[in-house]
Amino acid sequence: MSATREIISSGNDLAAIAAVDAGCMFFGGYPITPSSEVMHTISDLLPKVGGTAIQMEDEIAGVAAAIGAGMAGVRTLTATSGPGISLKAENLGLAQMAEVPLVVVNVMRGGPSTGLPTRVSQGDIAQAKNPSHGDYKSITVCAGTLAECYTETVRAFNLADRFMQPVFVLLDETLGHMHGKAVIPTAEEVKAGIKPRKKFEGDPSEYRPYDVPQDQPAVLNPMFTGYRYHFTGLHHDAMGFPTEEIETCRKLIDRLFRKVDEHRDEIESNEEYMLDDAEILLVGYGSASLAIKEAVNVLREQGIKAGLFRPITIWPSPEERLFELGQKFDKVLVVELNQGQYLEEVQRCMGRRDIEKLTKTNGRPFSPADIIEKVKEL
């Protein structure tokens, strides 16, 4: 049985605690509602373990500093909200192309633009799939409980080092500011589960960081350790130097896809709640799933067999499982705090257009009554 501990905290604070427990040694960011507590907390915690937290002049500089720390070989974090992701997008594209591991906590709020800074939203689902232009595969996890604000942040650091790219952790204002008890692994257990980033240990003259199998990430030794190579946002060769050679460019982008697509089993995580005998399928994630679970419990007391499918890994989506569920259930309802951003992905995976939706974009969370009423309409 895994060792656990109980802690009373908020979602934002738990994400910061998780980062430090997972070995993060650098934070670069800028305060923005509703994510600022992540920065506040980690700036207290990191110096105590020999790490560094720095508030930069803006969101762009924050992610640039964090990527620089990743290049130096340490686990690194930035945290923000949707408008901050918009500003960080160019540098996030650099990290995708150069294959620099980084964790990005995004505590979602209303948008677009300045939107509703102090209110809840799940409006960054589509943004998390493609925050920057170009072809690459995003890895995005989404916490649905206070405990997962911790455990999914830990998992994100392990995924970032495994796949050598940015990994997004989506919270939302409700979870970020929710305060309560969470049962989480001990720091010792988390540390025991850390797998060191792969390194090349041979003759430096034979080191070619991007010359790897087509289903594997680059092997980037930390800078300043005697292994020379080049970082660039341009298409590049095995040493990282810019190139326009046709096959080299094709294989590079193909590998950015395949290193994720061919190892989905290492990334995918879902929760299925009362689906075994369900007749109506509800799909939801994040804080909305808390209201959905309560609605499912009430509906079952009233004789209506509903069940929940909750993707914890949002991108890449659990497309095979969603397809299977689409074949099993006639009635499907997607519940989300946006206009239907994940609904489009569910439609694609299930190959159906007859899926119902319940959405909200006024900055307020769902109540179980909202969901119960909609299910009864079906």
Torsion of Cα atoms, 240 then 243 then 244 then 248, to 10°: -50
pTM for this one? 0.97
Note the pLDDT of residue 118.
94
Domains, the chain, with CATH or none: 4-192 (3.40.50.970), 272-377 (3.40.50.920)
**Could you read off the pLDDT of 24-63 as tens digits, one per residue?**
999 999 999 999 999 999 999 999 999 999 999 999 999 9
Mean pLDDT of the 160-176 span = 98
Note the pLDDT of residue 3.
87
Note the pLDDT of residue 326.
98
Mean pLDDT of the 267-281 span = 98
**Could you read off the pLDDT of 180-228 as tens digits, one per residue?**
999 999 999 999 999 889 999 999 999 999 999 999 999 999 999 999 9
Note the pLDDT of residue 262.
98
